[in-house]
Amino acid sequence: MTQHPIGATHKPQRLPNHAGVASPYYAPHRVEDFVTKPRLTSGKFGFSRRQFTTQFLAGLFCAKAGASSLGQDNPKGEISQFDLSLLHDWITPALSFFIRSHFAIPAQNGGGWTVSLGGAVAVAYEVFGQDFAGQDQKRLVVTLECAENPVGGGLVSNAEWTGISLRALLEKARLLPEAQVVRLLGGDGYERIIPLSKAMHPDTLLVDQMNGDKLLVSHGGPLRALLPGWHGMDSVKWLRRIDVLAAGENQTYLRRSRSGRVMPITKMNAKSVFARPVDGAILFRRRLLCRGTAWAGEKKVHKVEVSTDGAHSWQLAGLLDPPLPYAWVRWEYGWKIPAPGNYELVVRATDESGRTQPADRDPDRMDEYEQISCQRVRVSVV
């Protein structure tokens, strides 16, 4: 993965029409710019007039309230979904990106943000926010999804993130032989334990930018972890401590089965959703462009299929974006409606390893996480 020095410019480019894309179902002749041209633009990624107004009002609020008071205004955390019916661009604007915070946003002070690194290391030290200016930074487009996201739910979004490698920080600390796991602790008291292998992956980052702009406090700013391909709960926000440990495991977000087996939830699965039509829609035309998005965690999306007869038969959807690890792809399918009536539409995704979304929830599962069964949308045509 190419690393870009901090301050380097990076503009979305129009995709060339050439071979080399892994999925045979990707149609490059149909791809627009990654981010389509907006009426109003801000920074690297554009947004609509409505989003501009929202951001302006939000800025006025933050200026008045101050970052230190946000935690008091939000004592119980926050859950805010991305409205999938508004899906248009490949990149989700920061103000539309879903939010899942477990506790109140921690107070921000004017002395700068620091992260302590210690535990089973030879050299414990602190990382200061301003130190990022002297580091090589990496940019990755990554889809984050909450493990609690229901079928067809909007606790998922896609953004470009910029930060430094966690591996570089750990190597500087010189890990001791007993090091096995890494604990990430946020300023709100939330923590996650990840295996050393994931912490040392070159794409595991500490990020301070989102979509080319400063990381918003609501999304974990000034500094959060980013574990591409894993569920969002492991990308700890407002990062304050990194502890290298000889042992440890998470006590929450566990996969529980009726047979008594308990396993940690980590990697995201192949999954797809409809953006249009919405469930319960009434259609008056005989043609409809169905649209949505699909993702597969650390894998690339291989194909997306749509059924218009309740999963009895399947047709390939066109992919509007190049299949990449970590990032979602938008898809569309032109449906020629044969006659008036009631229809059940279903969508499913398959990743590059051949793993396809299941039709239904595994009956052995007792927990509420990883709701990856196929989404079904019922519409009426008049």
Strand (E) or helix (H) holding 57: helix 49-65
pLDDT confidence bin for 206, thresholds 50/70/90: very high
Residue 112 clears pLDDT 90, i.e. is over it: no
In the numeric block, which tokens belong to residue 341?
């009536």
Backbone angles phi, psi at 164, to 5 degrees: -110, 155
Following DSSP, what letter does each residue of 298-331 receive, concatenated?
A: TSPEEEEEEESSSSSS-EEPEESS---TT--EEE
For 130-148, the pLDDT digits (tens) are 777 667 899 999 999 999 9
**208 exposure class (CB count in 10 Å sphere: 0-12, 13-18, 19+):** buried
Q: pTM for the full model? A: 0.81
Question: Which carries the bigger pLDDT value, residue 50 or residue 118?
Answer: 118
Using the structure block, give the residue that is written with the tokens 């569920």.
Answer: 231
Domains of the chain plus CATH, in order, are: 271-381 (2.60.40.650)
Q: Which residue has the tokens 């709960």?
A: 233
Tell me what pLDDT residue 11 has: 33
Looking at the predicted structure, is the pLDDT value of residue 20 above 50? Answer: no
pLDDT top residue among 62 and 164: 164
Q: Is the pLDDT of residue 126 over 80?
A: yes
